[in-house]
Amino acid sequence: MKFADTITLLNLAAGILSLYAAARGEIILAASLIAAGMVFDFLDGRVARLMQQSHPLGRELDSLADIVTFGVAPGAVALAMNDSAVMLFATVIYGFAAAFRLARFNIERRKHFRGLPSPAAAALVLTATLLFPLTPWTRWATPLVFLCVAGLMAATFTVKKP
């Protein structure tokens, strides 16, 4: 296994631990672990290129880790705060969109992203989840943000790669 792949696995570990923390109701810890996953996701590709360790398995592993950390874990955090059927529906659609976006990225391999990248999407939905206090009005606002961000991930606009 290459060093860059180890960093990718740290992203995956952060996502899995975030799911565990969310299940225990430890919202800030769960969100912080997703943020840690973002750091690992940022580093793994750069390390792979710097050390000339880019390879197809590493790219696929990166997308699988991203599905957990940025596609599933944000929904678990939101559900820990707003356990409603509407929120569950929104998180499932968000997870579908993240999987679709990452699969599309894997087959296209362009010099730019199409649709909102999953780490940015996770940052948006986590911000909404943590900023909206649980009130009758915001019980609907957070699921709406998840659905809108899901649409942005599935969209075809282009975003320059960093």
The pLDDT, as a whole number, for residue 88 is 97
CA distance 19 to 34: 9
**Res. 44 pLDDT band, cuts 50 70 90:** very high
Domain that holds residue 58: 3-160
CA distance 24 to 80: 8
The pLDDT, as a whole number, for residue 162 is 66
pLDDT digits (tens, 9 = 90+) for 64-121: 999 999 999 999 999 999 889 999 999 999 999 999 999 998 888 667 778 999 999 9
Report how many domains make up the chain. Answer: 1
**Res. 139 pLDDT band, cuts 50 70 90:** confident
- CATH number where 156 lies: 1.20.120.1760
> In terms of C-beta density within 10 A (0-12 exposed, 13-18 middle, 19 or more buried), how is residue 155 classed?
middle
